[in-house]
Amino acid sequence: MELEQQLKILIDDASNYGVSPLVMQRAITPVLALLAQQLDHVEYYVLQNLEEDWILTTIRNQAQPEREKKVIYAFATLQDAATFQGSADPNILAVSLPVTHILFKLFPLQQVDSIIFLKTPGNLQSGTEIERAKLQLLIQQQIQQLNKIPPNIA
């Protein structure tokens, strides 16, 4: 599914998420589109348990072991997701999700620091990190801009 289709679905379903369609269209989806365009794929695989909760991984900075982050990995291929950490746990599934929907779901996840998109098939060592705090800041800035528009502009 192309980015435009993904964004249209989010706009159409905005009220199901407790967001006005106008805010979704003018503040949230432009940020999601901007970030999604930096990634190489329109869909990624995310690991989740049988309750459909995404699998969190705690990572530590090697130079500063006391610094840790809780991240979700998004994989370019099903094979990459299946071989991640050598896990063959039958209670963990890899599900394909539209990239903009992954980013949108990151927004309210307070327990998650980032999603790391592993864009290159077969390479599980480097990816593109999207921090939840950055995503929230960008969306808040867009909402503030939306609130500054005078209501009488034709």
Q: Which domain holds residue 101?
A: 3-148
User: How crowded is the C-beta side of 107, counted as CA atoms within 13 Å?
Assistant: 19
Q: Kindly state whether residue 121 falls inside one of the protein's structural domains.
A: yes
What is the total count of domains within the chain?
A: 1
**pLDDT digit string (tens) for the chain, length 154 residues:** 899 999 999 999 999 999 999 999 999 999 999 999 999 999 999 999 999 999 999 998 888 878 899 999 999 999 999 888 666 788 899 999 999 999 999 988 999 999 999 999 999 999 999 999 999 999 999 999 888 766 665 5
Q: Kindly state whether residue 17 falls inside one of the protein's structural domains.
A: yes
Q: Kindly state whether residue 67 falls inside one of the protein's structural domains.
A: yes
Cα separation, 50 vs 2, whole angstroms: 28
**Which spans in the chain are helix H?**
3-12, 21-23, 29-36, 78-83, 99-106, 132-148
In this prediction the pTM is 0.89
Q: Kindly state whether residue 154 falls inside one of the protein's structural domains.
A: no
Q: Kindly state whether residue 153 falls inside one of the protein's structural domains.
A: no
